[in-house]
Amino acid sequence: MPSKTYLCAHFSHPSSGIVDIENDPNRAPPCDESVCQLPDCFCSEDGTTIPGNLPAKDVPMMITITFDDAINNNNIDLYKEIFNGKRKNPNGCDIKATYFVSHKYTNYSAVQETHRKGHEVAVHSITHNDEERFWSNATVDDWAKEMAGMRIIIEKYANITDNSVVGVRAPYLRVGGNNQFTMMEEQAFLYDSTITAPLSNPPLWPYTMYFRMPHRCHGNLQSCPTRSHAVWEMVMNELDRREDPTNDEYLPGCAMVDSCSNILTGDQFYNFLNHNFDRHYDQNRAPLGLYFHAAWLKNNPEFLDAFLYWIDEVLSNHNDVYFVTMTQVIQWIQNPRTTNEVKNFEPWREKCVVEGQPACWVPHSCKLTSKEVPGETINLQTCVRCPNNYPWVNDPTGDGFF
């Protein structure tokens, strides 16, 4: 078999390195539902089919809140305010979120506490390289250093030992094509949440990448995988940003809430949340993803108020709406349960209500440098011992190169 480099060079766009699925002779085949069966494979022709073919009215409505980038003093208080121990899913457990954490300036004692509380910690790279093309063109090895390296840092400095760091989101939502997904298979990551699906009704369910993606590769110069990969795709359904979808003219959707640039007031945000909730709830109950950067809520108290009001209202008005982590969504898809059954669904009761003390009250505050980040001294807070160097791509443990 020719090397990947050969194929990419041969079939790529001259300048962008993007492989077109129609031109890849080794492309994944279209979904074959007789072959692709739960729990390890899930696909459908247009991506909208409900797992287990349950009737929509029996499907618990899953909502996935995610936050990207470093966890530190800029956002810890915000997260505590949203996840304050008073907001409960219908099974009595605290609502949960997923954090895609990038390395620089992250406080790992806060990551440890986030994980202790039952939220999901996933990786968003070490460098957060701001050259967007880097991610489109990165090699399998680049991806491994950035993402598997980030998992090493998280596991060590947030002392996470339960193998729960299984998710990946690329910076700037720049999909890394087959190289990214090959790395994920090799490094045993469970899912990606970077690929965006254009706004559609009904919205899409997550799918596995064994078969061809059920939607076009959306976005400017994006490089989607073309081949078969043993990875779940927690596809990012674009949200409908129109205030009044029955009257307003068509507008393109938006994947991150903070990129829905026409939301200007708390009321507009509240209407936006309700409208998109209804689109999912009243159609096929595909999980509703609400993807944020903390600053958008922190810098706009009106948005935060509207968001908290909306969460509380949704929880009090529905006994079939659950705020869960990405991994909990996959666990449900692998084992679909009706709203009645799901109250006792074990994976959704894990760390149901967490009390007790944080791992440490006063973390070590390690002032560190790295040859890879010249001229900077960076603080790393952790409950475990300080390393010698600031961890970075070629030295994720911080013990010294290699």
**The one segment of 51-59, 61-69, 85-93, 107-115 that binds Zn ion by CB under 5 A:** 61-69
Report in angstroms the alpha-carbon separations of 331 from 60, 76, 156, 294.
13, 28, 26, 27
The answer to whether residue 258 forms part of the interface with Zn ion (CB under 5 A) is no
Q: How far is the CB of 45 from Zn ion (least distance, A)?
A: 33
Q: Between 281 and 291, name the residue whose CB sits nearer to Zn ion.
A: 291
H or E element, residue 101: strand 97-101
Among 24, 68, 94, 258, interactor with Zn ion by CB under 5 A: 68
**The one segment of 69-77, 175-183, 247-255, 294-302 that binds Zn ion by CB under 5 A:** 69-77
How many CA within 13 A on the CB side of residue 27? 15
Q: Between 99 and 277, name the residue whose CB sits nearer to Zn ion.
A: 99
Single out the residue of 285, 290, 291 nearest to residue 342, CA to CA.
285
Number of chain residues interacting with Zn ion (CB under 5 A): 3
Per-residue interface string for the shown chain with Zn ion, residues 123-162, x marking contact by CB under 5 A: ----------------------------------------
Do residues 370 and 392 make contact, with C-beta atoms less than 8 angstroms apart?
yes
Q: Tell me how far the alpha carbon of residue 279 is from its chain's centroid.
A: 21
DSSP secondary structure, 49-79, as one string: PPGGG--GGGS-EEEEEEEES--STTTHHHH
Give me the helices (H) in 107-176, please: 108-116, 132-137, 140-143, 149-157
Residues between 167 and 186 that touch Zn ion (CB under 5 A): 171
Q: How far is the CB of 170 from Zn ion (least distance, A)?
A: 9
Q: How far is the CB of 124 from Zn ion (least distance, A)?
A: 6
Q: How far is the CB of 295 from Zn ion (least distance, A)?
A: 11
Q: How far is the CB of 68 from Zn ion (least distance, A)?
A: 4
Distance CA 331, CA 338 (A): 13
**The one segment of 68-76, 80-88, 159-167, 199-207 that binds Zn ion by CB under 5 A:** 68-76
Single out the residue of 391, 395, 299, 398 nearest to residue 102, CA to CA.
391
Q: Between 171 and 202, name the residue whose CB sits nearer to Zn ion.
A: 171
**The one segment of 62-70, 71-79, 302-310, 366-374 that binds Zn ion by CB under 5 A:** 62-70
Among 24, 69, 120, 192, interactor with Zn ion by CB under 5 A: 69
Do residues 151 and 120 make contact, with C-beta atoms less than 8 angstroms apart?
no
Q: Between 106 and 276, name the residue whose CB sits nearer to Zn ion.
A: 106
Q: Between 240 and 258, name the residue whose CB sits nearer to Zn ion.
A: 258
Distance CA 401, CA 24 (A): 38
**The one segment of 138-146, 165-173, 228-236, 294-302 that binds Zn ion by CB under 5 A:** 165-173
Q: Between 95 and 123, name the residue whose CB sits nearer to Zn ion.
A: 123
Q: Between 171 and 266, name the residue whose CB sits nearer to Zn ion.
A: 171
Residue whose token pair is 């349950």: 54
Q: Between 28 and 170, name the residue whose CB sits nearer to Zn ion.
A: 170
Q: How far is the CB of 70 from Zn ion (least distance, A)?
A: 9
DSSP secondary structure, 160-225, as one string: --SS---EE--GGG--BHHHHHHHHHHTT--EE--PEEPP-SSPPPPEETTS--SS---STT-B--
Q: Between 171 and 387, name the residue whose CB sits nearer to Zn ion.
A: 171
Strands in 238-331 per DSSP E:
288-292, 321-323
Q: Which residues contact 367 (CB under 8 A, 6 or more apart)?
A: 377, 378, 379
How many CA within 13 A on the CB side of residue 58? 11
Residue with the shortest CB distance to Zn ion: 68
- Binding site residues, Zn ion, CB under 5 A: 68-69, 171
